[in-house]
Amino acid sequence: MIDKPMRVLHIFSGMNRGGAETMMMNLYRKMDRTKVQFDFLTHRNDPCAYDEEILALGGRLFYVPSIGSTNPITFVKQVKRVIQEKGPFAAVHAHTDFQSGFIALAARLAGVPVRICHSHSTSWRGRA
């Protein structure tokens, strides 16, 4: 029997050539994808720089509108639906700012055992 790799869902705004996205792709290229496979949920429904490479490496791409274009309840429901329909996921890792808490809630409601909230930002636009 061939075991499937465990899947980890990473959430980014979009998989373009930003610092966090490039770091994640550097890790993804080098890891043993027979043991762990990455999937990505983004808020951009247009093609991004790393999309084709993600698919070529065996990852999957999913889309939900950002919390700013819906509302928190709808956003949590949409993320939860993706997790339930496309999983199971061993972990969900949110690389977003304030949306991360809502993503963690959706993952918890969907039964994901490991939930990581990780903001790569060094500043916040709204600060005076």
Q: Is the pLDDT of residue 97 over 80?
A: no
Nearest to 40 by CA among 13, 22, 69, 3: 13
Q: Is the dihedral of CA 22, 92, 63, 95 positive or negative?
A: negative
Q: How confident is the model at residue 124 (pLDDT cuts 50, 70, 90)?
A: low
**CB of 80 closer than 8 Å to CB of 106:** yes
Determine what percent of the chain is predicted with pLDDT higher than 90. Answer: 74
Q: What is the mean pLDDT of the chain?
A: 91
Instruction: Dig out the tokens for 16 from the structure.
Output: 């373009």
Q: Which pLDDT belongs to residue 128? A: 47
Q: Which pLDDT belongs to residue 3? A: 83
Determine what percent of the chain is predicted with pLDDT higher than 70. Answer: 91
Q: Is the pLDDT of residue 43 over 60?
A: yes
Rounded CA-CA distance 70/55 in Å is 27
Q: Omega into 72 within 30° of 0, i.e. cis? A: no
The structural domains of the chain, ordered by start, are 6-117 (3.40.50.2000)
